[in-house]
Amino acid sequence: MSEIAPAEPWLVREVGTPDEQDGALLQGESIFALANGHVGLRGNLEEPHLGGMPGTFLNSLFEERDLHYPEEGYGFPERTQTVVNGPNGKRISLFVDGERFDLRTGEVRRHERVLDLRAGTLTREVEWVSPGGVVVSLRTERLVSFVRPSVAALRYSVRAEAELRVESDLVVDEELPSPREDDPRTSAVLPDPFEPVAHDDDKLVCRTRRSELSVVAAVAHTGAEGTVSSTPELIRWTATGRGEITFEKFLSYHWPADDQVVADRDAAARDGFDTLAAEQRDYLDDFWAGADVEVDGDPDIQQAVRFGLFHVLQAGAQAGLHPIPAKGLTGNGYDGHTLWDTEAYVLRTLTYTHPGCVGPALKWRHNTLGRARDRARELGLDGAAFPWRTIGGPECSGYWPAGTAALHVNADIADAVLRYHAATGDDEFMREAGHELLAETAKLWTSVAYFDDRGVAHIAGVTGPDEYTALMDDNIYTNLMAQQNLRAAGIEPRLADCLSIPYAEGREVHEQAAGFTRLPEWDFTDHDYPLMLSHHYLNLYRKQVVKQADLVLAMMVRPDAFTLDEKRRNFAYYEARTVRDSSLSAPIQAVLAAELGHLRLAHDYLAEAALLDLRGGGESGGDGLHIAACAGAWIALVMGFGGLRDHGGELSFGPRLPPDLKRLAFHLHWRGASMCVTVTRDSVTYTSDGDVTFRHEGREVEVRAGEELKFAIDQLEDLPAPPSPRPPRRHAIWAEGQGEQ
């Protein structure tokens, strides 16, 4: 049995043998995935293991499959796209005196894997006694290069007083496990998606059968003598020896296929693993210097926020003009699709921690603008209608009430454009892509909104972020974000000014959508979460039950639209109706809880978001990490306890700490400067390597390059948490001794 070891500031350590029966094997494969946004290697063990989920994911390498409906309807997508497992170069079989190395046989005396967040490497060490009694020591190291987008590398060393044979493979169309049939969020598994095109002893060329996307994978081995054999589906390098075999393996991938793959592989092999590792460390040193978050008083959160930032970086760093999937390149969950949370969560975090990859991600959206315009025409709308789920640009979701009806995707993209430009001043991006994205997303609202006979504008029949409240009128998040979109594009100012903002006078709260507070209440004696797996959507849609932060999210991204008292009443009302059946919810609830003085509640929500994948439980699974939740850990800390807000192109802070954190320090980029904000129990200090003007607690201030700006902060009373049908589990840091672990 394996477990994640107690928290270490810069390492994630797994001790013990991963067990396929309790899900630890699949979960570990997600946690220990390595990627650079272009190439992703799932954290599989090197030796073949039928209980695992092999994964070599190449951004936007997908296969098409047909969508089938019990009843066809106009505008239903006819095809979808599914990420495929590309040519796998991780697979290495070991034989000891003729016996196969397999953790399920013999005796495992030691098994440990370590993900180093500063080095960007995964190391594995094993001591195993074969069924024949031979003691075997195995050490492997692997990386996916941040500096060389197409390159991955592995170093393998085995020692034993025995005859050794190693078979190191590059293989396509390996066997995959069947998907879970009881969860609609899992991916389809496509058997044999590739057809061979060409091969020789150092590279394979293949092509997906329907989407006709070609890929070439090249491999080289150094450090030991070996022989090579090849077929259209397999290149195998075999080395034999007694006592020890050590070698380095270099992989390069290109799609569409081109000859540069050989040059990339050869350069990596010539330079060697140590050089690649040094480049990796230098890249990450630079990243952490401008992005690190330091947390004193909570070692679990300290480890988790760095783990989250590392995986957010891995999802986007070299994605280039490709999407950032909801699972990154750590698994095939959601079919490898990108969703709205890329712009709303992932790019929000990257804008301040690694802005260089945000412009290309938004240019990818711009590159798919033609598809979005076509979709709008199909729906009878103006401008562009960006998809709910996609890889290559077309709408890939067959469930339209939560997909096509979620028009807020347009406004989320526009919001990301505005934030990126405000934080970087990248005028060239605006000329090339940003202005057109703002205009085309805004045009949609002019055709979908209408005025009633009182002159109030409405957007009818849409679904907001909360997928349990579908096809409603005037979703407040959608309306407020559409309003911002219209104003930024300079289109239809009257429409923007007149959009309805639903408010229930009798209850003195804003309505998530018009009429929401008049719906029947949900019976919260049902604790079978997530509800969508045990209740029909018809029942969910007609009750006051909230899957994830919706109006609460609106209060975070449009703070100008609500007074402080309105935020307090709204937060309490929706806490009592939110079940968090989505990993997107806890980070946002943490931010508003912190702002409103529910500091320990905010700490609990932060822990739920940050530890979701790293410590398991809840929604976590083996089909890939929740990259938006990884970003959400940063959001909860920096926007919650750091009080960062960025509405209207203006940077502001209102920091406060929960009782059990002693210090919070975070770095961020703003208009070419690198800032550091340090919050203690009684003060906040701002430093920067460039002049920055911002607001502190509502007052405009300036920190000059190389200087320090310090303010006293008042201790806030920790207010009790409002009632909730599904309160977060109390975080151990402050629950200790209270009997509520």
Q: Are residues 21 and 105 in the same domain?
A: yes
Q: Are residues 334 and 382 in the same domain?
A: yes
Which residue in 343, 467, 511, 575 is the catalytic one? 467
**Tally of domains within the chain:** 2
Q: Are residues 97 and 227 in the same domain?
A: yes
What is the DSSP track for 613-655? TTS--TT--SS---HHHHHHHHIIIIIIIS--B-GGG--EE--
Q: In sequence order, what E strands does 192-318 have?
A: 194-199, 203-208, 214-222, 227-231, 234-254, 293-296
Q: Tell me what pLDDT residue 179 has.
A: 64
Q: Tell me what pLDDT residue 622 has.
A: 83
Residue 302 CB neighbours (<10 A)? 19
Q: Are residues 343 and 434 in the same domain?
A: yes
Residue 285 CB neighbours (<10 A)? 11
* CA–CA separation, 244 and 164 (whole Å): 7
Give the up-direction half-sphere exposure of residue 36: CA atoms within 13 A in the CB hemisphere. 23
Chain segment 415-463, per-residue pLDDT in tens: 999 999 999 999 999 999 999 999 999 999 999 999 999 999 999 999 9
CB of 711 closer than 8 Å to CB of 696: yes
Q: Tell me what pLDDT residue 741 has.
A: 39
Q: Are residues 447 and 550 in the same domain?
A: yes
* CA–CA separation, 684 and 577 (whole Å): 35
- Tell me if residue 120 falls in helix, strand or coil: coil
Q: The tokens of 509 are what?
A: 């709260």
Q: Are residues 300 and 196 in the same domain?
A: no
Q: 725: domain CATH number? A: 1.50.10.10
In a domain, 7, yes or no: yes
Strand partners, 295: 664
700 is catalytic: no
Mean pLDDT, consecutive 10-residue segments, the chain of 741 residues? 91 90 85 98 91 93 94 93 96 97 95 98 98 97 98 98 98 79 63 93 96 97 97 97 98 93 98 98 98 97 98 97 97 96 98 98 98 98 98 95 96 98 98 98 98 98 97 98 98 97 97 98 86 92 97 97 98 98 97 97 96 72 91 98 94 96 97 97 96 96 97 91 94 65 39
Cis peptide before 256 (omega within 30 of 0): yes
Domain boundary among 234, 266, 298: 266
Q: Are residues 337 and 209 in the same domain?
A: no
In a domain, 741, yes or no: no
In a domain, 275, yes or no: no
Q: Tell me what pLDDT residue 507 has.
A: 97
Contacts of 200 (CB under 8 A, 6+ apart): 230
Q: Are residues 306 and 405 in the same domain?
A: yes
Q: Are residues 247 and 348 in the same domain?
A: no
CB of 142 closer than 8 Å to CB of 35: no
From first CA to last CA, the distance across the chain in angstroms is 23
**Domain limits at 12?**
3-266
Q: 79: domain CATH number? A: 2.70.98.40
Q: Are residues 192 and 317 in the same domain?
A: no
Chain segment 33-66, per-residue pLDDT in tens: 999 999 999 999 999 876 889 999 999 999 999 9
